[in-house]
């Protein structure tokens, strides 16, 4: 199932088109015209049961399914990344204890809190 925001974006902003694969789409449509030109009297009837029309519909469904699957995977990775985004981290020096093992005083790195503000790369 496609996330709602993706459906809204595709339908409202892109009017059903996904320009992320514009060159490939144009190449496919060009080759489809070449195939139709091989036997225009038989292959360009614009009949819903025409084998070329059915092949075109299947190819379009495949492209859109692949795009949606990629968008869903991307959304999952974005969700996972945000789950790992945090404001504080465990003090590496005292391992979150607030005191360094074997010392009877607060950790000099975190001041006894056991945590520190997270920084990029932590």
101 and 78 in one domain? Answer: no
Question: Has this prediction a pTM greater than 0.85?
Answer: no
74 and 16 in one domain? Answer: yes
- Give the pLDDT confidence of 110-121 residue by residue, as tens digits: 999 999 998 754
15 and 56 in one domain? Answer: yes
pLDDT at 86: 79
Residue 103 has pLDDT above 80, yes or no: yes
The C-alpha angle 10, 56, 20, rounded to 5 degrees, equals 35
CA 25 to chain centre: 20
Mean predicted lDDT score pLDDT of the chain:
78
Domain range for residue 70? 4-83
Number of domains in the chain: 2
23 and 69 in one domain? Answer: yes
| Tokens of residue 22, six digits | 């514009």
* Rg of the chain taking only CA atoms, in angstroms: 28
With pLDDT > 70 as the criterion, what percentage of the chain qualifies? Answer: 76
92 and 66 in one domain? Answer: no
118 and 58 in one domain? Answer: no
């Amino acid at each position: 199932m496609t996330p709602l925001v993706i459906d809204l974006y595709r339908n409202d902003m892109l009017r059903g088109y996904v320009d992320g694969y514009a060159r490939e789409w144009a190449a496919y449509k060009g080759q489809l015209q070449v195939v139709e030109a091989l036997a225009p009297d038989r292959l360009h009837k614009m009949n819903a049961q025409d084998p070329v029309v059915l092949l075109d519909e299947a190819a379009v469904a495949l492209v859109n399914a692949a795009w949606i699957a990629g968008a869903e995977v991307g959304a999952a990775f974005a969700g996972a990344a945000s789950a790992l985004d945090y404001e504080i981290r465990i003090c590496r020096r005292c391992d979150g204890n607030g005191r360094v093992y074997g010392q009877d005083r607060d950790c000099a790195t975190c001041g006894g809190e056991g945590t520190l503000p997270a920084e990029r790369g932590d």
